[in-house]
Amino acid sequence: MPLHLHLHWIDTLIIVLYFVFVVAIGFLLRHQMHTSEDFFLSGRRVPAWITGLAFLSANLGALEMIGMAAAGAEYGMLTSHFYWVGAVPAMIFVALFMMPFYYGSRARSVPEYLRMRFDEKTRALNAMTFAAMTLLMSGINMYAMALLFQAVLGWSMSLSYWLSAGIVLAYTITGGLTSSIYNEVLQFFLIVFGFAPLTWLGLRTVHGWSGLKARLAAMHLHGYMHMWRNMAHPGQNPMGVEWFGLVMGLGFVLSFGYWCTDFLVIQRAMAAENMSAARRTPLIAAFPKMLFPFIVIVPGILALALVPAAQWPTVNGHINYNQALSLMIGRFYPSGMIGLGLVALLASFMSGMAGNVTAFNAVWTYDIYQSYIRPGRSDRHYLHVGRWATLGGILISIGGAYLVSNFNSLMDYMQLVFSFVNAPLFATFLLGMFWKRTTGHGAFWGLLAGIAAAAGHFSLTRSLGGPGGWLGVWHTYPSSMAQNFWGAIWAWSLCMIVTMLISLLTTPRPEAELVGLVRSLTPHPEEASVAWYRRPAWLAGLVIAALVFLNLWFR
């Protein structure tokens, strides 16, 4: 059943003003888009604190907000693993070890780095799979926001798709990546101020953290408030995964595959003003990232504890956890605050969809169109192609939005897509950056093997109440998330094995061609003359200390 929130005129005014403001940013920046590098990489002149917040905010799409709140309602504090195990360690790794190669090589995209390190066919494979993935992710964000419009205004899903797509198109096609970055910084603060009150109001209602735990215990929901105590066996926790599957599948393969290779976030660091700023970008983002479970996951848990089961909408006979935030907003926010909460959700949509679209238009223009369709044209020509690619990407995203309507948890869908694309790609990058013997043939066939492994695993397994098993079922997982984690492990492992075997059987490139592309052949960045608080190693130490504390406190 739909959940209709009643908008006061002040709520409508807040939403309209937000729309006007974000579109105005794009139009004001359009005069700075003189070259394709201005449009796709902001001319590489953005300060670290801005790229840091944009690095984080690009990941705070509607999927992140609505999906994480849904996962909080479905899995409890176990969802925090997506932040404290499945994000921050990888952000540290990309800052310290991988960003020197991305930024130092002056590559314009992740697929272009693969061409520099390996060959054209590896670049082409990654460019095509990444382009498809970004449009699917953009479609997820569009679907999530359509759910919101349907819940608030009773609009049809199709009307919501076209309206939301038009708003994002208005500012990304004019201001490019710069417009997206500055809007992402604005959206970060809107998300914080829009959702943080939900946690405070909800905890006050249940009489604090201990009261929340007591309510969940009374509902016989055991293991919802701990991260590690119930991870010895899949049957002991609601996520249905044991500690090895979680650490290896999420904490290593999926996490590192996303944060270390996904051009959506890497693009923000590439826009930084220098190498030091590029390396500090993921570390600056890591500090607020660690606090986001209290803003998005805890409201989902509170919704489960406070909203009777009969009031939850359903999809295919199952509870639709994707409405957790809407239920909390409708329960706690008065007029004016409803508008702020909805603007926070809209901001998350703008952030996520625009991030995917700006990543797609760069990869399409640089790595597909310029490389294989129309090489040798003027820079201005490619600038125009980038704008048309923005329009085309948004139109295709609308189609992707229809594909996710049968998933009762958007996080399950997202992790499935990442297991196909990012999991094997991380194995390729790990070998390419740290093993000089890796060859282009090995990288290409390893990537294909990894994608095939993810597809095969999904087609031969299924989860309780979830999709999969189209070729037969040789194993059933207790949850879709467990199925995704193990699918990622299989994809990463087979890619690693095939890449190593074929690399050993083929001729590697001369070492002189790999300087700046492989760690053992590349001089390390100097930090002696940099203040300690601006050194990536020191910032990483502070992040690690905070991360260990959080994992121990909520163990």
Tens of pLDDT, residue by residue, the chain (555 residues): 445 566 778 888 888 888 888 778 777 776 677 677 777 767 778 888 889 988 888 777 666 777 788 888 888 888 899 899 989 999 999 999 988 888 888 888 888 999 999 999 999 999 999 888 888 888 877 787 777 677 666 777 777 778 777 877 877 777 777 777 777 888 888 888 888 999 999 999 999 999 998 898 888 776 678 888 888 887 777 777 888 888 888 889 989 988 988 888 888 888 888 888 999 999 999 999 999 999 989 999 999 889 887 788 776 667 778 788 888 888 888 877 888 887 887 777 777 777 788 888 889 998 999 988 999 899 889 888 888 988 888 888 887 777 766 555 566 777 788 888 889 999 999 999 999 999 999 999 999 999 999 999 988 998 776 667 777 678 888 877 788 889 999 999 999 999 999 999 999 999 999 988 888 888 776 666 677 777 888 999 999 999 999 989 888
**Phi and psi for 522 in degrees, rounded to 5?**
-120, 130
The amino acid present at 499, given as its one-letter code, is T
Neighbouring CB atoms inside 10 A of 454's CB total: 27
Q: Count of alpha carbons within 13 Å of 522, Cβ hemisphere only?
A: 24
User: In order of start, what are the domains of the chain with their CATH numbers?
Assistant: 9-553 (1.20.1730.10)
Distance between CA atoms of 337 and 195, rounded to whole angstroms?
10
Tokens encoding 379: 């820079």
Question: Considering the entire predicted model, what is its pTM?
Answer: 0.84
- Distance from C-alpha of 285 to C-alpha of 291, rounded to nearest angstrom: 11
Cβ-contact 409, 70 below 8 angstroms: yes
> How buried is residue 218: exposed, middle or buried, by Cβ count under 10 Å (0-12/13-18/19+)?
exposed
Q: Which two tokens stand for residue 495?
A: 């890619």
> Taking the CA atoms of the chain, what radius of gyration do you get in angstroms?
22
